[in-house]
Structure 1
Amino acid sequence: MRYLCFIAFAFFICGCNRTEVKPPVEYKGPISEAEKVELFYTENDKVKIKMLADMLYEFQNGDREFPKGIYMEFYKEDGSLESTLKANHAYFFKQENQWRGRGNVEVKNLQKTEQLNTEELFWKPADKKIFTEKFVTIRQQGDVLYGEGLDAKQDLSDYVIRKPTGEIEVKE
């Protein structure tokens, strides 16, 4: 019996001194950072898109975050500047090949002198389309259009406001 009590006491003492091993915490932050970034996307040796950003974070899965905003220029086949896009914050989702701009998003079509403003905008480069579910304002020559939701070409040359609001002047 004494021997049994000694074994129980030894297990109790060993159990109290046990150090707890915690599993390692997985790092989910950026694997690289860059400041004052200037990138060019080209097709057939012609610049199609110029991108400027003050800060770029790149993640393990290929996603990219632009926490200080982004500015992009889109060029036509002849090399002339067609449209611009800027946002206070941007994120590129590599798996979906899709961009999201947030906070004072602005798209300008320089050919038509039109400007889109919204708080959130998505861009699919493969389809050359932009879209949002948020409130939008489009300034045209002399008119301002309002609404919720938008589907458009990336250069804003053709668009549909899903739920337009406000008054529109129709010229006969």
Structure 2
Amino acid sequence: MFLYGCEEEIDSSLLEPYLGPIKVALDIDLYHSDSAIVRTHLKAPKQVEFDVGDFEFPEGIDITFFDEEGNITTTMRADKGFYIKKDNLYRGEGDVRVHNLEKDQKLSSEELFWDPNAKKIYTDKFVTIEERETLFNGTGMEADESFSEYKLFKVTNSRTILPGENN
């Protein structure tokens, strides 16, 4: 006796879990306060949320930091941004810029991380820092989130800015 069975082929891709976005929000304007004092202001044209709680800001992200009197101390912007929920960590990529308005220090890099818990920003990528009349270049940097105190690693090709050269 022979038994023959016909089994329908199943497309295995239909059984894979969906990993794409679950929500999309436009014109994000988010304030974070602590003890009734605004600490940060996040703005983004588009925010994409994923099932695990991560966010992507595909059209850019701007974060503004405030002191206890409500004055803007530092701004941070990136062409594209990410928030990793499990690490409570933000990552900016593309043209990333930080400006400490109090000390008039400017940073540019292709990638930068902001850790709100540790109140630090850092990268292991190439960085240019403009401070007063000097450009500092290096690979790797760590700073407090206000970018008022920083450490630049593997410093190379630092130089004085010539008159009329400022951007």
Shared fold, TM over 0.5? yes
Look up the match of 2:25: 34
Q: State the one-letter code of the partner of 2:130.
A: R
Higher strand share: 2
The runs of 5 or more residues in structure 1 that have no matched partner are: none
Look up the match of 2:10: 21
Which TM-score applies when normalising by structure 1?
0.88
The runs of 5 or more residues in structure 2 that have no matched partner are: 161-167
Look up the match of 2:130: 139
Counting only pairs closer than 5 Å after superposition, residues 1-172 of structure 1 correspond to structure 2 as 4=1, 8=2, 11-12=3-4, 15=5, 17-23=6-12, 24-168=15-159
d(CA) in 2 for partners of 1:141, 1:69: 28
d(CA) in 2 for partners of 1:96, 1:37: 21
d(CA) in 2 for partners of 1:67, 1:137: 24
Identity of aligned residues (%): 36
d(CA) in 1 for partners of 2:84, 2:33: 20
d(CA) in 2 for partners of 1:31, 1:118: 30
**Corresponding residue SS for 1:95:** helix
The number of residue pairs the alignment matches comes to 158
The answer to whether the 8 Å contact 2:134/2:158 transfers is: no
Which TM-score applies when normalising by structure 2?
0.90
d(CA) in 2 for partners of 1:82, 1:116: 14
Question: Offset of 1:60 from its aligned partner?
Answer: 1.1
**Corresponding residue SS for 1:33:** strand
d(CA) in 2 for partners of 1:77, 1:61: 33
d(CA) in 2 for partners of 1:50, 1:119: 22
**Corresponding residue SS for 1:131:** strand
Tell which deviates more after alignment, 20-29 or 89-98: 20-29
Question: Offset of 1:20 from its aligned partner?
Answer: 2.1
d(CA) in 2 for partners of 1:167, 1:60: 44
Bigger CA radius of gyration: 1
d(CA) in 1 for partners of 2:11, 2:61: 40
d(CA) in 2 for partners of 1:135, 1:25: 38
Higher helix share: 1
Q: State the one-letter code of the partner of 2:50.
A: F
